Amino acid sequence: MERSPQVETRSEYEPVVERLLGDVSGKHVLDAGCGGGAFSRKLAALGAIVTGIDGSTEMIAIAEGYPVRPNLQYRVADVTEKLPFPDSQYDIVLANMVLMDIPRIDVAIAEFARLLVDGGVLVLSITHPCFFSYDWVADEHGKRTHKEISDYLDPGVKELNFWGKTLHFHRPLSHYFDALSQSGFCVDTLEEPGPPESVQTEAASRRIPSFAVIRARLRS
């Protein structure tokens, strides 16, 4: 699967992802769906031994255009297929804003489980499935007040236009938990980050999260 270009800005979910990853120094990390390599470079700078993969040759070319680090390599690889690595190679897998962009999360998560050591950690972030796909409702003054949820439990596909046309695969949060459990993962953390206090935004945006971040450990 090709992914859209990655914009290197500080998002509201990024601090949560970093905290849930913990100390990565000396750890073997797979950045699955690395895009232009922004998070791969950050992890390598923190001392991790990083492999960044993406299904887009263009994105990998962008990632490889940055200064080389000896502890960072990139490969073109599609997370919806068997990945070209041996079993139990990584301590951590990061899937940052990836799984809602692919049609088969069961395949991807099963591959992550295969590649992790016993007790290894998967950290994934996604657009929040309960709220992302639904439009804001505004009052008579144009102020956003809430979102009206209609068909949350029904999986579906929507075409979006982020840096070009992309497909967004809506699935309930339970589908992610089921796929994790079936591949031998145990979720220990679910966080729903909102905008930091330093960011000026409407009050409604602080009540409804746009993202979800999950950490799961592979049962040994």
CATH number at 101 reads 3.40.50.150
d(CA 220, CA 71): 27
Q: Is residue 148 part of a domain?
A: no
Indicate if the pLDDT at residue 119 is higher than 50. yes
Is 139 among the domain residues?
no
Overall domain count for the chain: 1
Q: What is the pTM of this model?
A: 0.89
Determine the Cα–Cα distance for residues 116 and 167; give it in Å rounded to an integer. Answer: 28
The answer as to whether 79 is a domain residue is yes
29-43, 123-137, 160-174, 194-208 — which is least confidently predicted?
194-208
Count of C-beta atoms within a 10 Å radius of residue 204: 15
Say how far apart CA 168 and CA 147 lie, in whole Å: 19
Looking only at the bridges linking them, the beta strands covering 90-96 and 28-32 are parallel
Does some domain include residue 3? no
Q: Specify if 206 maps to a domain.
A: no
pLDDT tens column, 62-103? 999 999 899 999 999 999 999 999 999 999 999 999 999 999
- The range of the structural domain enclosing residue 93 comes to 14-129+172-200+212-218
